[in-house]
Amino acid sequence: MSVQTQPRTCLAVVLAAGEGTRMRSERPKVLHEIAGRAMLAHVMDALAGAGADAAAAVVGPQREDVAETARAAWPTAEIYVQAERRGTAHATLAARAALARGFDDVLIAFADTPLVAPATFAALRAALAEGAAIAVLGFEARDPTGYGRLLIGADGGLAGVREHKDATAAEREIRLCNAGIMALAGDSALALLESVKPANAQNEFYLTDVVELARAHGLKAVYRTAPESEVMGVNDRVQLAAAERIAQARLREAAMRAGATLVAPETVFLSHDTRLGRDVTVEPHVVFGPRVTVGDGVTIRAFSHLEGAEVAAGVSIGPFARLRPGARLEEGARIGNFVEIKASAIGRGAKVNHLSYIGDASVGAGSNIGAGVVTCNYDGFDKFRTEIGAGAFVGTNSSLVAPVRIGEGAYVGTGAVVTQDVSADALALARARQIEKPGWAKEFRARKAAAKAARTKG
């Protein structure tokens, strides 16, 4: 008979108090986005993926915006304030109340290191389960300047971490560097953190000092490694762009491996939550904003932009189309070039093929919306809806002034300005009757020319 062991509990502490002055921004650094999502939210999502049970976010004073983002990413997250900045151990101890609860594992992460994978955090937890008191994440740096160095003991374990400013010349030759992220065994975490002293050139409480403190107490310290690209921190907009490139490469690869064709992958930009079905074809220069779901067999042609849209199977979009939040395209719909859809449902097999704006509307199955059709949905104060029934035909260059309803099977004549409901199967004409005045143009030109000549002489 096997014995069931209880899963290890885990607290994730996310350090998010930095202002990020090098960003040259009014927005806190950790709220800058990668793939359409704040860096802080990326980190919290990865920690959840590593099995963390609870989260504590350490924010700066009066940074409710950071706290709100943390709660949005993890609704039960506890928020702690680091009133003064005195180093990473000092920041971690701001969450002392959470640390004191006695979790088996404590993961400490940085909100400006957004690319760390859940599996990497899980590897640090696994080291604790194997008996380590501390597991530090390291990487082989191409240029180690400025990074703390991991010092390896004779037993192969981690003997310490030396910050660059405090390192000897020999230690600065080491290329195995500290990524900043670590895991602590919960039963010793708080005591180790409270033992840290500011005995360094910066007069700060270094989180990395817990390694030597643990070794001094006979506790085991180890390290695990990750690629340098995964653990890169973001301190300015150049590094933000570099992180975006890495995130986009991951998202593109995942989409293609899941069955989507990206004709020119390097030109397609995805959001963190983009969902593409099988046999989707995405042509060059397509941008996906947040909250886009695309069904199987969809074709998205070049230079289209989608955000907050739900696209069913077999739909064709673009080129140069824009789907704004609330756009919902049902199976087999056709959205053509220079068409914008906002907060509207386009029915099964309906066509909006060119140069049209459909906003706050519903278009019934099988309807045809001609070129240049506009739903006039806004009066400067309020939005109004347009309803177009199944099988309706709206002629070129028509304006539908909402609120208005076009019945099933109805026809709207070209160039109409529709201000009243149209009955099912009816024809609506709303334009002036054409008249012709012989010779009018010739007389008009002569009159204008004579007036111009008189002004010139004067």
Same domain, 208 and 156: yes
Same domain, 256 and 195: no
The DSSP secondary structure of 122-188, one letter per residue, reads HHHHHHHHTT-SEEEEEEE-SS-TTSPEEEEPTTSSEEEEE-GGG--TTGGG--EEEEEEEEEEHHH
Residue 443 lies in a domain: no
Cα separation values, 273 from 262, 290, 326, Å: 17, 6, 16
Q: How many helices (H) and strands (E) does the chain have?
A: 9, 37
Number of domains in the chain: 2
Same domain, 113 and 191: yes
The domain spanning residue 102 has which CATH number? 3.90.550.10
Same domain, 347 and 412: yes
CB 421 within 8 Å of CB 396 = no
pLDDT of residue 435: 87
Same domain, 221 and 270: no
pLDDT of residue 345: 98
Q: Which of 174, 198, 225 is the last residue of a domain?
A: 225
The radius of gyration of the chain's CA atoms, rounded to the nearest angstrom, is 31
Report d(CA 67, CA 85) in Å as an integer: 17
Out of 32, 272, 305, 354, which one is annotated catalytic? 354
Whole-model pTM? Answer: 0.89
The per-residue pLDDT for range 323-358, each reduced to its tens digit, is 999 999 999 999 999 999 999 999 999 999 999 999
Per the structure, the complete domain to which residue 356 belongs is given by: 237-428
pLDDT of residue 166: 84
pLDDT of residue 5: 59
Report d(CA 97, CA 302) in Å as an integer: 53
Residue 339 lies in a domain: yes
CB 341 within 8 Å of CB 322 = yes
CB 342 within 8 Å of CB 365 = no
The domain spanning residue 414 has which CATH number? 2.160.10.10
Same domain, 216 and 244: no
Q: For the chain, which residues score pLDDT lower than 70?
A: 1-5, 200-201, 458
Same domain, 63 and 202: yes
The per-residue pLDDT for range 409-445, each reduced to its tens digit, is 999 999 999 999 999 999 999 988 888 899 999 999 9
What one-character DSSP code corresponds to residue 379?
-
Q: Is there a catalytic annotation at residue 354?
A: yes
Same domain, 289 and 399: yes
